Chains A and B, each alone.
Chain A
Amino acid sequence: MKKKYENNLDTEKSSNGVLSVKNLTKRFGTNVVLDNISLTIEDGKTTVIIGPSGCGKTVLVKHLIALLRPNSGEVYFKKHRIDNLSENELNNIRTHYGFLFQGGALFDSLNVTENIIFPIRQHCKITDWKEVEELVKSKLAMVGLDGFQQFYPSNLSGGQQKRVALARAIALNPEIILYDEPTTGLDPIRSDVINELVLKLQKELGVTSVVVTHDMNSAYKIADRIIMLHNGKIIADGNADHIRNHPHPVVQQFISGQVSEEDLAVLRMRGNISHTQFLPRDFE
């Protein structure tokens, strides 16, 4: 199955560094989101990106597949520079990727099966529908949703949508999978199943994964390497132990999930919450 749905890109396979970014800067208006970031993602490894909400994790992974273009800097896929390619040239390269969007981004006019076979349909001529059905079934079973084939996305819960999106991202057996918060919105057990899935794909198919997450348990479990973003910079980079024992106070605060003194001060300043409550009109 894998062979059949694979696209050839004539490149010499480098031993490491399937993806890399060099001096990447991204601004939206005056808001500098990524500030001169350089990063190499190794082949067959799972790299986890953590960082506070709004620090630019999604923006960074979108650059890795050239859905966003940098203001300055370069992005490489297997030594090919991709950030300056046209959309047409990118289409071939993007078949090597699976991308799980933070919001799922399922096609709401297509049902679950049609969503999952979308990438297959676009790139291969389907001759054997039985085989495709089997594939859909197995991918859905991996995310625990076999039996939901005919559902439309609007009839699924948020977590279910996320998992269907994950099944779609792995449909073409890509070499690189970018997960944007795969476990957000899932219960702890289901999250762990997703963790195992990431590990399994890495072990059995040698997939290179980049996982954005807020879930430190998941990060420790799946990561070969953890990168922390803060204010547009990489402030920590290393394996799980390195991060656990990182001296940087922001890192320690993030991984232990502690509120900073400044944030607490803001909450205290407001005083007793009930004082500021607005009473209903007909209160008296």
Chain B
Amino acid sequence: MIGIVGAKAISGVGNMGRFSRFIWQSMVASLRSCSKTHTYSLIWTQMYFIGVHSVPVVMITGAFVGMTLAVQTYGQLAGMGLEEYLGSLINIAVVKELGPVLTAVMLAGRIGGALTAELGTMNVTEQIDAIRSMGTDPVKYLVAPRILACLLLTPVLIIFADLLGILGGYLVSVVHLGINSRAYWLHSANAVEKWDVFIGIIKGLFFGVAIAVISCYKGFTCKEGAQGVGKACTEAFVASFISILALDFALVVIFKAIYDTFWPLRSMV
């Protein structure tokens, strides 16, 4: 019993160590490839796969979030006679939390799964070893472009989701629930600060990197066979999902501290 727990603990620590090493290597490789123009074509290809095809699903996600929020919160606010404040509530929620987090979760499923399956298959068919055998660092060739593409595109996709969320919320509130359009926008504009939009987008940078690193790591370490690849994909999604939520929490705490310290100072500048 103790032996089993011990063995599990040791392998857990070992995995953590390997994962940290992988993060370090991929960060170094990503930074290096920023300065090398010939890697840009690799990044472009990945951006096309990751970005363009994700736009529709991300927009649909955003729109439904906005619309659902409007319907859900209307009842409570109307009960207090505050229905004109619907805009502020919806837009704050979409821009700060739901837009970034749901976009990231969507991407973890859509892109993370594909990345893990692709790299996992390359791993079990020895294609990654082939890259190594030709004197190229597979982290540099495979992982860095994917991380950079995710890093650059997740914030952009979050903006799309935000826009559609705002639009969806607006349509349901004004057209369907009959709230005065002017009041809706006025309260929204008062409630949402640039800072809120900004942290929503900054979160995207972190989420994008987390998704890419975790998915690539799972692909690189996946076990032989079709089952191994499938298992790696599942694990990658679960790990990405939890990391997104954990990162979100950590970032909210950190940004709140920063906000409380520095935002009041901005008037002095």
Chain A positions within 8 Å of B, measured between CB atoms, are 62, 65, 67, 87-88, 90-95, 97, 99, 101, 103, 105-108, 118-119, 122-123, 125, 172
Q: Return the contact of B127 from the options A93, A94, A97, A107 (Cβ within 8 A).
A: A107
Q: Is B130's CB under 8 angstroms from A105's CB?
A: yes
Q: Is B125's CB under 8 angstroms from A105's CB?
A: yes
Cβ of B133 < 8 Å from any Cβ of A? yes
Give chain B residues whose Cβ lies under 8 Å from the Cβ of A67. Answer: 129, 132-133
Give chain B residues whose Cβ lies under 8 Å from the Cβ of A87. Answer: 132, 137
In the bound assembly, the distance between CA atoms of A95 and B126 in angstroms comes to 18
Give chain B residues whose Cβ lies under 8 Å from the Cβ of A123. Answer: 135
Closest Cβ of chain B to A84, distance in Å, is: 16
Cβ of B1 < 8 Å from any Cβ of A? no
Give chain B residues whose Cβ lies under 8 Å from the Cβ of A125. Answer: 38
Give chain A residues whose Cβ lies under 8 Å from the Cβ of B132. Answer: 67, 87, 90, 94
Cβ of B134 < 8 Å from any Cβ of A? yes
Q: Is B125's CB under 8 angstroms from A94's CB?
A: no
Tell me the number of A-to-B contacts counted with CB atoms below 8 Å.
54
Chain B positions within 8 Å of A, measured between CB atoms, are 38, 122, 125-127, 129-130, 132-137, 141
Give chain B residues whose Cβ lies under 8 Å from the Cβ of A92. Answer: 135
Most chain A CB within a 10 A radius of its CB, from B38, B126, B130, B141: B130
15 additional A-B residue pairs with CB within 8 Å, beyond A97-B133, A122-B135: A67-B129, A67-B133, A88-B137, A90-B132, A90-B135, A94-B132, A94-B133, A94-B135, A95-B135, A99-B134, A101-B130, A106-B127, A106-B130, A119-B134, A172-B134
Give chain A residues whose Cβ lies under 8 Å from the Cβ of B126. Answer: 101, 103, 105
Give chain A residues whose Cβ lies under 8 Å from the Cβ of B135. Answer: 90-95, 119, 122-123
Q: Return the contact of B125 from the options A90, A97, A103, A172 (Cβ within 8 A).
A: A103
Closest Cβ of chain B to A7, distance in Å, is: 8
Most chain B CB within a 10 A radius of its CB, from A97, A122, A125: A122
